[in-house]
Structure 1
Amino acid sequence: MQNMPRLRKFGSLGVKYAFPAILLAGCTSPVEVPLQEADILLLNGTVYDGTLGDARIADVAIVDDRIVFVGDAKEANYSAPVSLDVTGKYVAPGFIDPHTHYDRDITPWANDPDKSLILPAIMQGVTTVFVGVDGSGHPAIGETLSNAEKKGVGPNVAAYVGFGAVRSMVLGYSDRAPDADELGTMKGLVSQGMCEGAFGLSTGLFYSPQSYSTTEEVIALTKEAAARGGLYDSHIRDESSYTVGLLGAIQEVIDIGDATGIPLHIAHLKALGVDVHGQSTDVIDLVEVAQSEGLTVTADQYPWVASGTSVSASLLPRWAQVGGEEAMIARLRDAEDGPKIRAAMTENMRRRGGPDSLLLSNSTKDEWIGKTLQDLSEDWNVDPVEAAIRVLEQGGAGLASFNQSEEDVKRFMQQPWVMTSSDASGGHPRKYASYATKYAKYVKKEKTITTTEFVHSSSGLVADSLGLVDRGYLKDGYYADIVVFDPENYAPRATFLEPEILSVGVVDVLVNGEFAVRDGEPVNSAPGRGLKHMPTEGTCE
């Protein structure tokens, strides 16, 4: 007697596959294994499946948009019209980037239609990106995801509803608390975003106008996300020593979790600036105590000692930005406010490591790019703060701010609750090279973490923490989001002076079972989908 292959069907997707037959112990003659048909076979790869288990040599079979088998395809009698020998290559779940700014590339009005393919991510093996971060996500989540699909997107897209977008819709850039009616309107907008598929509420409490909020206001809105099964994602109020301090900002996140019961996620975790170098140990202690008390707390991190910011965000006090850019420029020229702003800018420049640690990386003035504020101050024969003000008066600029210590970066990276991210935005190589850099520098060269930990922190950990269903692992029945990369050649090419160079070493990328990269080259396909979080049953009309 023999075991017959069992057919399994994935709900309404209509995807069928057969489990391989096996030989029963005690049989005296071989059992013929039925032919198994797949669409694509990846053969002989070194498989890292997204768990913390050891790698193994195995084959991966794909039917339609799903993985149907991981194992020995020959023994299971699998065949496919597309069979790729990936001997010596690493096969992993497609990486999931929990913090990006690709919103700007997937909007219908983006100038370059090719940008929606998001090649900087795809060419690193990223197959899903989260947008709406730092509180930016418009509550019309359904429209955001629909627009992405209509335009044609390379990776999958998931989204947050953003506190900043909600607050500015109701209160503009005013520095005040909402009244009861306004707070009710804001709650309704968060509810709308969650019911349209947002994975949670995102905040950017460092940035105006979100910085004008109280913790109680944030808690009131977070409860709307919590009631619908979402999570709380936050660019915290202070990553340095600007206001409440790094530890105070981490404690605020924990307080929000205590008040709402919501899973907590800290965006681009770092200890920013000379005043807080070394505080990674204290941050880890705070998080682990909260975890031991029953809170779910995770974080993401990009593998760079430089953050990406702007002259205004890094140097101006928040009160100077109330009312927008025109009001800010007027205050700079005001006899009373101007000196106060300059004093604050001097202090902020110090905490970030001085003017030679602030590199202009993104500007309409090409001649500024690649120069530090120290360079500009010498070129213009003014002090560095006046150089920064001159930049602000001419439209501002993006900065690469070299403000972290390697020891803090590594210590955070080694925590089992910290995942990989890019914070992908212009003027910084992190958009084009974060995953490749983490592997080439921190896995291969410095051995800060292992390849298994790198893959897990870039795939399975992200899916589990943020609520993605059937993604993040190479397992039977999971979506076929897969990266194949060459361990000898997977590396960054982007630099701070040339930040827009694609990484190398990715051989193949599949998104929902379709090739986005083949033999090291993008195929200009758009197989990505808009991914919706399902709200808790009964919480949306």
Structure 2
Amino acid sequence: MNGNYAILAATMLAFGLYTPTAVAAQSESTADEAPYDILIAGGTVYRGKAQPFVGDVAVSGDRIVYVGPATDHPAERVIDADGLVVTPGFIDPHTHIGDALASEIPAARLVLPFLTQGVTTAFIGVDGGGSPDIAATLRADSGRDYGINFATYVGLGALRQEVVGEEDRAPTEAELGRMLALTEEAMCEGALGLSSGLFYAPQSYSSEGEVVSLARAAARHGGIYDTHIRDESSYTIGLAGAIEEALTIGREADIPVHIAHIKALGVDVHGQARAIISRIEQAQAEGQVVHADQYPWSASGTGLSAALVPRWAQDGGRQAMLDRFTDVTLLPRIRKEMAENLRRRGGPQSLLITRGPSDALGKTLADLADGNGDPVQAAIDLLKRSEAGVASFNQSETDIAAFMQRPWVVTSSDASAGHPRYYASFARKYDVYVREKHVIDLQEFIDQSTAVPAELFDLTGRGSLAEGNFADIVVFDPDSFAPAATYTEATLFSKGVQTVLVNGAIAIDEGAPTGRAAGRPLRRAAEGCARE
């Protein structure tokens, strides 16, 4: 063993990455053994919640078969990772890519906006949107190919729309029973748990007790309660009140709580991150399981009606809302409340149109109001034409940094059409918050994007580079990994990812997509379900 190899071996041994026996074995000839399928050689390897080292990662079939110092074991394909970072595939626990995965178009199911920034596993069905028909969503036996792995929630909104509709009322006893039965069935078909979007109609019409009942059904089968909380701002019960409601639901239903895209949204709540963190960590200290995800953008993405139109004016759905816009007895109240909602979001210049009529795209609400100086009327006029999506610039960098530095907050995208977070969230978090602002370091970024979410959501065999784990692997250039997408050009692929493996298949090779689709639907192993 030469001097350099001895130093490397001693370092690896100190970090518990392999045993002296394994070191000795690696120094022996392996020429008579079957070659690895793929050897990623000479990169800086971040295994997941462990110190990095320079070495090799080998893959055979869909599994990782070696992680350690440089090896002379033969391989069918050697990928030179010298100067590059090798990590587990990134895990995104909050996305809106269900339509892409359900598409009839194979290219859409590749989900290239994710692969090109290193995301190999994503969750769908969030914000209460997950269909109760989990078997159809996962479609493991459909013969379809997917570019990434994915899991799904059953959603409160989907349950309510199927059973109750869009009315502002409580479910009857029979309706609640039906919703509970659908939740139980979904859990037994492999749902992650129950998701809610209590900010959005018709879910905003749900009482805390209704949500507790459904969360208990998910809890009986080992599920998680994922929630877009009722108020991230000062719309109704306020940010602190909505966090308290989420914690109460978790305690009463005896279920882990995951807070989606945690933030302090709007001028009224800027600076509240520290207090929210303190409250959550108090609950954790008392034994409650609570964690969160966060996207690294100061602008959220939502519908224009969700951002500005009061919930009571949306009761009954879009047509009912449009009818109220023409009701002279209701319109003054609607306009007054829309003006207040616009104020709390930072004014008309803070809302950028990202989805809707082509002549409005890329303009702010202030731009659209130039003709008459009335941004509320501009919003109503636009909504009469069609629903619109907005990038809402509503967060402070101080709050973003405070949440990002907590060990229980993981990386997400909240990926949706029209917002650059679909194409660039993981790249932006690295480029802006690791390299530029030094809010977190590279190890924290990788752990928050791999090992920590894998642990929180019990993704067995994923999230770390370990022998026997699934070969979801990313190789990126630390000098060039960066976003290209912007708020006005939201569909540009990120730069700097050299190689992506999904279940052992190369999906990105030398920075270019290969067309390989090796992703898999992931079913959560449910507890307490009858088996035939």
TM-score by length of 1: 0.92
Aligned to 1:442: 433
Q: 1:3-402 maps to which residues of 2 (within 5 A)?
A: 35=33, 37-51=35-49, 53-74=50-71, 77-109=72-104, 112-146=105-139, 150-363=143-356, 365-378=357-370, 380-402=371-393
Aligned to 1:4: none
Distance 1:180 1:157, change over 3 A: same
Aligned to 1:477: 468
Distance 1:32 1:180, change over 3 A: closer
Structure 1 residues 181-238: Cα deviation after superposition (integer angstroms, max 9, x where no partner): 1111000111111111111110000001100000000000001110000100000000
For structure 2, which runs of at least 5 residues remain unmatched after alignment? 1-16
Q: 1:466-505 maps to which residues of 2 (within 5 A)?
A: 466-505=457-496
8 A Cα contact 1:106 1:147, kept in partner: no
4+ runs deviating over 2 angstroms: 19-27, 29-37, 147-151, 537-541
Aligned to 1:5: none
For structure 1, which runs of at least 5 residues remain unmatched after alignment? 1-18
Out of 424, 443, 450, the residue aligned to residue 415 of structure 2 is: 424
Distance 1:507 1:495, change over 3 A: same
Aligned to 1:12: none
Distance 1:235 1:540, change over 3 A: farther
Q: Aligned equivalents of 1:254 and 1:472: distance in 2?
A: 27
8 A Cα contact 2:88 2:450, kept in partner: yes
8 A Cα contact 1:227 1:539, kept in partner: no
8 A Cα contact 2:473 2:502, kept in partner: yes
Distance 1:24 1:349, change over 3 A: closer
Q: Secondary structure at the match of 1:150?
A: coil
Structure 1 residues 220-278: Cα deviation after superposition (integer angstroms, max 9, x where no partner): 00011100001000000000000010010000110011102211100000000000000
1:446: how far off? 1.0
- The amino acid of 1:359's aligned partner reads L
Out of 502, 526, 529, the residue aligned to residue 511 of structure 1 is: 502
Structure 1 residues 406-428: Cα deviation after superposition (integer angstroms, max 9, x where no partner): 00000000000000000000111
Q: Secondary structure at the match of 1:334?
A: coil
1:31: how far off? 9.1
Q: Aligned equivalents of 2:531 and 2:514: distance in 1?
A: 40
1:537: how far off? 3.8
1:21: how far off? 9.9
- The amino acid of 1:98's aligned partner reads P
Q: Aligned equivalents of 2:391 and 2:315: distance in 1?
A: 24
Distance 1:327 1:82, change over 3 A: same
Q: Secondary structure at the match of 2:83?
A: coil
Q: Aligned equivalents of 2:530 and 2:208: distance in 1?
A: 24
Q: Aligned equivalents of 1:439 and 1:504: distance in 2?
A: 12
1:362: how far off? 1.3
8 A Cα contact 1:158 1:532, kept in partner: yes
Q: Secondary structure at the match of 1:39?
A: strand
Structure 1 residues 455-510: Cα deviation after superposition (integer angstroms, max 9, x where no partner): 00001111111121110000111100000000001000001010000001000000
1:35: how far off? 3.3
8 A Cα contact 1:376 1:387, kept in partner: yes
Distance 1:457 1:376, change over 3 A: same
8 A Cα contact 1:116 1:148, kept in partner: no
- The amino acid of 1:90's aligned partner reads V
- The aligned length equals 515
Out of 415, 435, 453, the residue aligned to residue 462 of structure 1 is: 453
- The amino acid of 2:410's aligned partner reads M
8 A Cα contact 1:61 1:73, kept in partner: no
Q: Aligned equivalents of 2:317 and 2:21: distance in 1?
A: 72
1:108: how far off? 4.2
Q: Aligned equivalents of 2:333 and 2:495: distance in 1?
A: 48
Q: Aligned equivalents of 1:268 and 1:211: distance in 2?
A: 18
8 A Cα contact 1:234 1:265, kept in partner: yes
Q: Secondary structure at the match of 2:236?
A: coil
1:78: how far off? 2.1
RMSD of aligned residue pairs (Cα, Å): 2.1
8 A Cα contact 2:18 2:68, kept in partner: no
- The amino acid of 1:494's aligned partner reads A
1:26: how far off? 12
Distance 1:26 1:410, change over 3 A: closer
1:397: how far off? 1.1
8 A Cα contact 2:100 2:108, kept in partner: yes
- The amino acid of 2:454's aligned partner reads A
Q: Which moved more, 1:530-539 or 1:262-271?
A: 530-539
Structure 1 residues 70-125: Cα deviation after superposition (integer angstroms, max 9, x where no partner): 00242xx522111111100000000000011110112245xx43111100000000
- The amino acid of 2:40's aligned partner reads L
Distance 1:117 1:22, change over 3 A: same
